[in-house]
Chains A and B, each alone.
Chain A
Amino acid sequence: MLKLENVKKQYDGFELDCSLEVKEGCVTGLVGKNGAGKSTVFKAVLGLIQTDGGSLRVFGKSPGELDKKDKQRIGVVLADSGFSGYLTVKDLVPVLEQLYTGFRREEFLEKCKKFRLPQDKKIKEFSTGMKRKLQVLAAISHGAGLLLLDEPTAGLDVVARDDLLELLREYMETEGRSILISSHISSDLEGFCDDIYMIDDGKIILHEETDVLLSDYAVLKATDEQYHVLDKSYILRYKKEGFGYSCLTDQRQFYQENYPELVIERGNIDELIMMMIRGERK
């Protein structure tokens, strides 16, 4: 579906050098702190910026080669951009009808009603959450095969986030569809993605299947003495703490069996990000 190989983009004080793949039928997450390069990845994939090197293929084509039909197969939500605020939902319907042959008018309007999006109000008067909902609804309204969702849940409350993720789960029930989704709310991704890429300072620092991430990764809490005798073969990162050391491992079971006295916390994605970014390599 989507493949990036060493895609490079140079800005003042920032360089993107990214490789990732979104396979057919998979939901792939992209996590990282603000400014890590998530939006730059999305912009590169959508051909909104010119890349400085590497290979980028969407449906086997470079972004510049994508024609209208290819673009109709993509649904987009961008973190900092959307429909013109001077339009209303009612205005959007004929535009979307003209743009997408597969646009499902009734379903779109029904979902807008369900999410309480007023049809005659200008989009600029919508709350951030309402704007996000509208973008997601538009992205899934035309049977796209690939969704590119940059922070689709930003600005939403817990209930609205859950509703949107439910919509996306429904969307994934049709075979052959894929999603690349970024979010700074890791709990959204934990329960939704098949695999997760972690990006920091423009580079992918970790790629793992979500199940493996949640079952095999862990943070070990060791005192100074425990740390010095610890087998560090499977320690990915460590960080000096007041009590001793925090260590990130991808072999939780090994340490559980061999060091029963250690405090071992199952990794969640937030902790993983913290350790991967702030921790030191052994």
Chain B
Amino acid sequence: MKALLIKDIHLLKSQKQFFGIVALMLVLFTVVQDNKSFAIIYVAMMFSILSMTTMGYDEYENGMCYLMTLPFSRKEYVQSKYVFGILSSFLGLTFSVIFAVAATVAKGGIYPWEELRDALLPCIMLITGTLSVSMPVQLKFGSEKSRVVFLSIYGIGFVAVYGVIQICRKADIRLSDMMSFVKDVLSTPWRLGLICVVVLIASYFLSVRIISRREF
């Protein structure tokens, strides 16, 4: 797996422009707009897709075919992508938090823990969601087709949420009660952590299943 992680790090050298834009946005949202929470969520989201970016590079000019002949198992390939995704996401998250705190302190202010927590919880959910959905989708459909699949998933998700809201209204179910229940569950760090781990593990096994059956 070490070889695959080294390869992915080298592949990211092509992403200088990407890192430049992310850094610029971080400065813009933190220093200029003073919207630290958004900056943290933005950077974490951007870093969480790096693993998918490296998969796109692996697939460049049918490269996956050759890659799969090298001495590692398909399972190890999937493992390396999840490890890389989690590590890069948390690296981005850590970096953006340190920057946001430093920028606040430099201005003579204090970054309240409650505000930071309110930014971190959706971040962790978004990172988990992005990795868990995009990994199996990209392994199944490849970089090109997966864009269409992602759009379809978001479309279906939007319709599903809209449908639930309509059903709740007709059945006279109070949505605010449901939302506060979900918020309660997710705002407890250990519960959120557990849900994220379960979702990631389920996604990992699905990805292993997909790549094991895939022909190159």
Taking Cβ atoms with an 8 Å cutoff, the residues of A that contact B are 43, 46-50, 68-69, 71-72, 74, 76, 78, 80-88, 91, 94-96, 98-100, 122, 124, 135
Contact = CB atoms under 8 A, between A and B. Distances in A.
B216 A49 contact: yes
Q: Is the interface of A mostly helix, strand, loop or mixed?
A: mixed
B60 A49 contact: no
Contacts of A95: 3, 6-7, 10
Interface in B57-87: 57-58, 60-73
Of B6, B57, B64, B67, the most chain A CB neighbours within 10 A belong to B6
Contacts of B14: 86, 122
29 contacts: A43-B65, A46-B69, A48-B65, A48-B68, A48-B216, A50-B215, A68-B71, A71-B69, A71-B70, A71-B72, A76-B66, A76-B70, A78-B66, A80-B65, A81-B64, A81-B65, A82-B63, A83-B66, A84-B58, A84-B60, A84-B63, A87-B7, A87-B10, A91-B10, A94-B6, A95-B6, A98-B6, A100-B71, A124-B60
A178 to B, nearest CB: 17
Contacts of A49: 215-216
B3 A84 contact: no
B2 interface: yes
B63 A83 contact: yes
A99 B70 contact: yes
B48 to A, nearest CB: 20
A150 to B, nearest CB: 10
Contact of B66 (A50, A82, A99): A82
Given A85-B60, A87-B11, A124-B61, A98 B215 contact: no
B7 A76 contact: no
A85 B108 CA distance: 48
Interface in B135-161: none
Contacts of A82: 61, 63, 66
A84 B68 CA distance: 12
Interface of B: 2-3, 6-7, 10-11, 13-14, 57-58, 60-73, 213, 215-216
Contact of B60 (A43, A68, A86): A86
Contacts of A72: 71
B66 A81 contact: yes
A78 B13 CA distance: 26
Contacts of B72: 68, 71, 99
Of B62, B70, B72, B216, the most chain A CB neighbours within 10 A belong to B70
Nearest to A97: B3
Contacts of A78: 65-66, 69
Nearest to B65: A81
A95 B62 CA distance: 19
Given A82-B66, A84-B60, A48 B7 contact: no
B120 to A, nearest CB: 32
A17 B69 CA distance: 22
Contacts of A84: 7, 11, 57-58, 60, 63, 67
Contacts of B73: 68
A88 B14 CA distance: 11
Given A81-B63, A83-B63, A124-B61, A48 B10 contact: no
